[in-house]
Amino acid sequence: MFRHGSRFLSRASTMRWRRPFSTDLPAEAYKDSNFVEAWRKAIPTVEPPSTPSAFMATRPATPSSIPSKLTVNFVLPYSSELSGKEVDMVIIPATTGQMGVLPGHVATIAELKPGILSVHEGNDVSKYFVSGGFAYVHANSFADIITVEAVPLDRIDPNLVQKGLTDFTQKLSTASTDVEKAEAQIGVDVHSALNAALTG
């Protein structure tokens, strides 16, 4: 098995292939020519229906230079907090740690944990407590942040946070089933993150 290893390595180094990045793909809408061709062969008298890709908006082209602003869309299931807002930076609470996103950031998908999302625009900083979700950072300096729940930090009552933390800690210590333990642990995690956001 190892006798053929050097031959494989030398062949692999001479191979010239790479998977294209999404930024290398054309920005125009994609037409499913195979589908249209097959349709016209099967039913030449009927116009082919539109495929889902026909309804998608074209992706903005990646700029050749780094823009001065990051365009942010921050949405919840029931509302849109920011829509196409141009900002200097956002700091998101990713599961891997706090992540700062500036214009020109590499394309990334990050899962969010309970914590503070801060939006920096000049000297103004807007802070939100998010319960979790995902952030999609695109190569064209657009960022889409989708969260389950978000509250401006100045609207959170510290007394209710302390009470909730105490209640869930007590529930966790008295939980008897796995479901009760999991629900209590989620409550402790969220209220601990809320407490850290308010005191930190």
Q: What is the mean pLDDT of residues 155-178?
A: 91
- Calpha distance 88→98 (Å, rounded): 16
State the pLDDT at residue 60.
64
Whole-number pLDDT of residue 61: 67
pLDDT confidence of residue 145? 93
pLDDT of residue 17: 45
Higher pLDDT, 32 or 87: 87
Residue 131 — pLDDT band, cuts 50, 70, 90?
A: confident
Q: What is the pLDDT of residue 3?
A: 54
Instruction: Please name the CATH architecture into which domain 70-153 falls.
Output: Sandwich (2.60)
| Phi, psi (degrees; rounded to nearest 5) at 18 | -155, 150
Which secondary structure element, helix H or strand E, spans residue 6, and what is its range? helix 5-14
Would you say residue 79 has pLDDT above 80?
yes
User: How far apart, in whole angstroms, are the C-alpha atoms of residue 189 and residue 195?
Assistant: 10
Predicted TM-score of the model (pTM): 0.64
Alpha-carbon distance of 141 to 122, in angstroms, equals: 17
